[in-house]
Amino acid sequence: MSKMLSIAAATLAFTATSALADGHCAAGKTLTEGKFTVATGNPAYYPWVMDDAPESGQGFEAAVAYAVAEEMGFAADDVVWARSSFDEAIQPGAKNFDVNIQQYSITPERDQVVDFSAPYYTAPMAVLVSANAVDTPPTLEALKGLQWGAVGSTTAVPKLASVIQPDADPLLYGDNADVNAAMTANQIDAALFDLPTALFLSAVMIEGSKVIGQFPADQGDNPDQFGMLMEEGNPLKSCVDAAIAALTESGKLAEIEAKWLQDTTGVPLIK
């Protein structure tokens, strides 16, 4: 009798688990059933991911990924990390991840070939200058006279053209590493980065450089917002959006931002 009761109890537990899985928003929508596969950069940098170890949950984007996963009902052990280059992930086609989180600005052009979640961060743009230009005052008038550099495919280019309007055409590069090298060599005076990245580059990567000012995050009609990138038409998008909305409403997202991006304070606004 006890054996039959045990079998019945096990059957009931299995049925309950199956019913829970069937009612889960993400059921049947992830790359691997029961797992949430998140991609990030290779390598991934501070303050987005600490020590290039996203599985630690340390760093702003690593913490956001785990918070979204938890809100959707995934345990931390069910989060699987993958790596991709920035440009590889924004190409059309099938993906080897459910979401990719590595500071992707949501733009209409990109949204034509991939899907984005609701924004998880609105990033102020900051001005990073080389050692030769650290005395530049944080004013638009002073910024016009600098030699600028930028990655040609990023939102920094239209920002330069519409807001700063430099006297000389900016020098365009293939990626941020080339911009950093040009600034280190004093071939350019200044570049635009999101504020956390600018602070990191100044502190760690580009000797003698300085973050001299920032633009308000809400300046203009189209502030730079980061979203989780997904394959076009991914049915998981509604689940991710709902999770981000819940984290925003509860204040959890703001707590994560305050914890990991608190070093971004103290940089003056550009006037």
Helices 60-71 and 237-250: crossing angle, nearest 10°? 110
pLDDT of residue 11: 42
* Tokens at 125, concatenated: 């743009």
pLDDT of residue 1: 44
Separation of alpha carbons 121 and 267, rounded Å: 18
Write down the pTM of the prediction: 0.69
Q: 106-161 pLDDT, tens per residue?
A: 999 999 999 999 999 988 889 999 999 999 999 999 999 999 999 988 778 888 99
| Interval 85-98 mean pLDDT | 93
Separation of alpha carbons 23 and 220, rounded Å: 41
Query: Side chain identity at 222, as an amino acid letter?
Result: N
CB 61 within 8 A of CB 101: yes
The 10 Å CB-count burial string (b at 16+, else e) for 19-51 is eeeeebebeebbbeeebbbbbbbeebbbbbbbe
pLDDT of residue 238: 97
Q: 173-192 pLDDT, tens per residue?
A: 999 899 999 999 999 999 99
pLDDT of residue 267: 83
264: number of CA atoms within 13 Å, CB side? 27
Separation of alpha carbons 12 and 31, rounded Å: 28
Instruction: Using the predicted structure, report yes or no on whether residue 12 has a pLDDT greater than 90.
Output: no
Tell me what the pLDDT averaged over the chain comes to: 88
Residue 5 CB neighbours (<10 A): 9
Q: 203-255 pLDDT, tens per residue?
A: 889 999 999 998 887 665 567 799 999 999 999 999 999 999 999 999 999 89
For residue 54, what are the CA distances in angstroms to 60, 77, 81, 253? 10, 13, 7, 17
pLDDT of residue 22: 53
Nearest-Å Rg of the Cα atoms of the chain is 22
Query: pLDDT band for position 23 (50/70/90)?
Result: low
pLDDT of residue 266: 64
Instruction: Using the predicted structure, report yes or no on whether residue 2 has a pLDDT greater than 50.
Output: no
